[in-house]
Structure 1
Amino acid sequence: MLRVPIAAALVGLLAAVAGTTSAQAGQPDDGSRRAHYDDYVALGDSFTSGPLIHPIRLDRPLGCVVSARNYPALLAAQLDVETYTDVSCGGARSSNLWKPQETPLGTNARQLDALSKDTDLVTLGMGGNDFGLFGSLISDCTEVRDQNPTGSPCKNKFTENGVDTKLRDAKRIRGHIARSVRAIHKRAPSAEVAVVGYVRILPPIGTCDAVPFADGDYAWGDKLERRLNKSLRLGAERNGATYINMYPASIGHDACGSGVAWVNGSKIDLLRAMSFHPFAKGMVGIAGETYRQLTGRTAPRVKPFDTGAATAGKREAKRFAELLH
């Protein structure tokens, strides 16, 4: 899902940044008792890593564009874990659990390598890049809109011999998630595994300027995301993992949600989020809902977990934006 010419920009950013550290993790203000987890590992793609949500972590491969304010960093602080490791990376596919991922700047190691017998919580936010499901959908649906603005030209493009190839692929991802969960259990036998579903990108009804799809492709695109999340749920629950359903919590917070949107629309916001990716407020929503479903309690208000890593802050993010232009 991460599709932006970032290599030259990140080189300039790295040279410009001396580095700062992320904020110290705060304590919950409601006195609630937290679930007991000590060693938390986050696996995932760009919906987990949070590209362009400043500050950007400089201890990770820069091509992964990992935010210090993504939902794993918030969840780690909410759960008050002893150790926290985030190996998510923009553009990751399920196969990158087993094989390294090459990025424009740096190689992300096999994500499964972050797990150990001491790991007691794993979140997995992945699947949308498998078979190019989201990437081609996002780019092509905007490009073909003018062919039939009131119809479903994107759905038609991906229908071959009467077969909706995108819906077919969304169903096939179930097997990838099942295999991933089994591999996680093998590497971290004592861990609770939570597969985090994708937040709503499209509204259940209506259209908006932020998402320049043809009218009929809204319902179709939402159907595909629902099918993808169903694959995540079945792959999780039938292999001993918890599924974190983000659809109910994110209703009204889709890309058409204007000031309350958790997800960006089609235009890259260089200081806030990649196109069709979560904003910082979306990360807060995902972390809070994950905490609630894991513990049964309302998430405390916290600052992100302090990894001690150097980060590029807002001032440097502006330089980053200038470099991209």
Structure 2
Amino acid sequence: MRVIRRLAAVTTCLALATALAACDDSPEKKAEEPPYVLGESDQYVAFGDSYTSAPGTGPVTKAEGCSQTRVNYPHRIAKATGVALLDHSCNGADTNNVVDPQTTARTRKVIAEPQIDGVGEDTDLITFRMGANDFGLIGRIFGCAIAYSKGVLGNTPQACTTLDETAPKGPVADVKDDLTADVVAALQAISDRAPNARIFVIGYPQILPPEGSCALFPLPPGDDAWARGIIEDFNVALRAGAEAIDATYIDMWEVSAGHDTCSDDPWMAGIKVPDGGAVVFHPYTTEGQAVAELVLAELKS
């Protein structure tokens, strides 16, 4: 009888242990699992121009001349996941600077080494937002707004659209395909170097409202369509690049609707910037936070 009791006790304990083990596989165990598929042992490289480096939005990093801040979306992603970050984003970078050093226009002094440096088979995560500086495209829009605000262009309808037809690097219509080819080539070089990485291609946000412009982003009558078309071309190129290498495209155009420079809740600074927060014609921290949240949501799957 005593032996039977002991066996019963052992059986009861085993049953209890099995039940507890089963409990470990339920919500409590899942709650202990890391929230993201990447963590401290993983490496992350961020490629980008000033719309990634986010000048004026916070304390700067040690990357002199690149205007990187410690609150841009690469740093937000790294902080949330714990991954080791190489932030190669740099003010003024174009897709050539993926594989070539970035230099000053006049003295050819090197500002930054090729952004692809440090990328390899052990790279686990890459984000990419570039192309706006190719052929001086984004600069054409900013230059138009500044010139118009100073009265240089008068009030001539579509003054910048007309000037663009004789642009030294070619009119927008003639370089659209070249822009796409540049973005695809840059992303292919990155993909070849980092075959094991998850790659996220980040689109550019809406800078202008769906129609017209405003005092914070002044453009000659009718030139808003020309400017908006250039920004849309950036995203066409980036989406094509993402498709070419089977990367994930993060569509910031739709997400930023209602948050353009002229809106009541802007994610973009205009020609006049409140004290702190950004630099002229560049994103506030809210835009970077939105990018980070979208990438982080993908890293949970």
Same fold (TM over 0.5): yes
Partner residue, 2:137 = 133
| CA distance in 2 between partners of 1:251 and 1:236 (Å) | 22
Q: Which range moved further: 82-91 or 281-290? A: 281-290
Matched ranges for 1:33-52 at <5 A: 33-36=35-38, 38-52=42-56
| CA distance in 2 between partners of 1:32 and 1:168 (Å) | 48
**What is the one-letter code of the residue matched to 2:85?**
Y
**What is the one-letter code of the residue matched to 2:94?**
R
The answer on 1:210 being equivalent to 2:212 is no
Partner residue, 1:291 = 296
| CA distance in 1 between partners of 2:289 and 2:236 (Å) | 23
Offset of residue 135 of structure 1: 1.2
| CA distance in 2 between partners of 1:87 and 1:154 (Å) | 33
Offset of residue 263 of structure 1: 0.7
Q: Secondary structure at the match of 1:56?
A: coil
Q: In 1, are the aligned partners of 2:137 and 2:230 still within 8 Å (CA)?
A: no
Q: 1:188 to 1:270 in 2, by over 3 A?
A: farther
Offset of residue 281 of structure 1: 1.4
Offset of residue 186 of structure 1: 1.6
| CA distance in 1 between partners of 2:197 and 2:157 (Å) | 47
Counterpart pick for 1:111 among 108, 115, 123: 115
Q: Which range moved further: 210-219 or 134-143? A: 134-143
Q: Secondary structure at the match of 1:247?
A: helix
Q: 1:268 to 1:249 in 2, by over 3 A?
A: same
The C-alpha deviation readout for 1:165-222, integer Å capped at 9, x for no partner, is: 1233233211111111111112111011111111111110243210111231112211
Q: In 2, are the aligned partners of 1:199 and 1:246 still within 8 Å (CA)?
A: yes
| CA distance in 2 between partners of 1:124 and 1:116 (Å) | 15
Offset of residue 106 of structure 1: 6.5
Q: In 2, are the aligned partners of 1:133 and 1:169 still within 8 Å (CA)?
A: no
The C-alpha deviation readout for 1:3-46, integer Å capped at 9, x for no partner, is: xxxxxxxxxxxxxxxxxxxxxxxxxxxx9832335211101110
The C-alpha deviation readout for 1:48-86, integer Å capped at 9, x for no partner, is: 0011111111x21x21111000011112223x1431110
Partner residue, 1:189 = 195
Q: 1:269 to 1:136 in 2, by over 3 A?
A: farther
Offset of residue 261 of structure 1: 0.8
Please tell me the root mean square deviation across aligned C-alpha atoms, in Å. Answer: 2.5
Partner residue, 2:243 = 237
Q: 1:108 to 1:282 in 2, by over 3 A?
A: same
| CA distance in 2 between partners of 1:262 and 1:170 (Å) | 26
Offset of residue 278 of structure 1: 0.4
Q: Secondary structure at the match of 2:206?
A: coil
Offset of residue 148 of structure 1: 5.5
The ranges of structure 1 where at least 4 consecutive aligned residues each deviate by more than 4 angstroms after the TM superposition are 103-106
| CA distance in 2 between partners of 1:106 and 1:227 (Å) | 29
Q: In 2, are the aligned partners of 1:42 and 1:85 still within 8 Å (CA)?
A: yes
Partner residue, 2:93 = 92
Matched ranges for 1:156-175 at <5 A: 156-160=162-166, 165-175=171-181
Matched ranges for 1:29-68 at <5 A: 33-36=35-38, 38-57=42-61, 59-60=62-63, 62-68=64-70
Q: 1:207 to 1:144 in 2, by over 3 A?
A: closer
Which structure has the larger Rg? 2
The answer on 1:278 being equivalent to 2:283 is yes
Q: 1:214 to 1:72 in 2, by over 3 A?
A: same
Partner residue, 1:10 = none
Partner residue, 1:12 = none
Q: In 1, are the aligned partners of 2:148 and 2:218 still within 8 Å (CA)?
A: no
Q: 1:212 to 1:279 in 2, by over 3 A?
A: same
Instruction: Say which structure, 1 or 2, has more relative contact order (CA 8 Å, 6+ apart).
Output: 1
The C-alpha deviation readout for 1:213-266, integer Å capped at 9, x for no partner, is: 1231112211211122101111221222222110010001111124x2111112
Q: In 1, are the aligned partners of 2:120 and 2:194 still within 8 Å (CA)?
A: yes
Q: 1:108 to 1:158 in 2, by over 3 A?
A: same
Q: Secondary structure at the match of 1:111?
A: coil
Offset of residue 113 of structure 1: 0.6
Instruction: Note the residue ranges of structure 1 that are not aligned, 5 or more in a row.
Output: 1-30, 298-325
Aligned length, in residue pairs: 261
Instruction: Note the residue ranges of structure 2 that are not aligned, 5 or more in a row.
Output: 1-32
